[in-house]
Structure 1
């Protein structure tokens, strides 16, 4: 199952919020962490995310500029599907998930299922 570490998740949040490809320097500037991580740390994190297929990159002069390989929503949906695939009892896992979301989220889930032809 693909999981993100704390710093990887923070870097991905910067990329998901960006409107254009982001260089290491830009990601570092937008992280807002105290203490600020080293430039080489963020460069390594982005290289690892690229190796894992989480980001794509393109040349921006001598530097790389990074983009998420998928949207935040697609990543979350894929993660949820992986959790269900790993569950010994999918129904029990789904029931526990539904029991943890608010009544408003449950109603929204029902509405989305009804609209998309899901079970009644």
Structure 2
């Protein structure tokens, strides 16, 4: 399963990647870590991506709008929102997000998210 990570904070991106790699999930492949949301849209236009971990608070475009645009190009894309702010939770689930994780990301919480993903994507 091909995953992308989108967050404007490099430290947050690295931490998320570290936590996902720590799980050692056999078929999870992180194909890109992006700080620019528009790069994520371009990537989804031209590359098969199964899941996107998206920070909601991004510059220029918020993560909800980013997910909407990405879903236009890949309706099967599974989305996990990550943010320090809980106020967007309902809006995030309106997009059928797999999960909504509040920062700081805990390994146990991310593990539950990966379990949810495995229920939705049978190949996991």
**Bigger strand fraction:** 2
Measured against the shorter chain, the TM-score band is under 0.3
Normalised TM-score (structure 1): 0.26
The alignment's TM-score, normalised by the length of structure 2, stands at 0.25
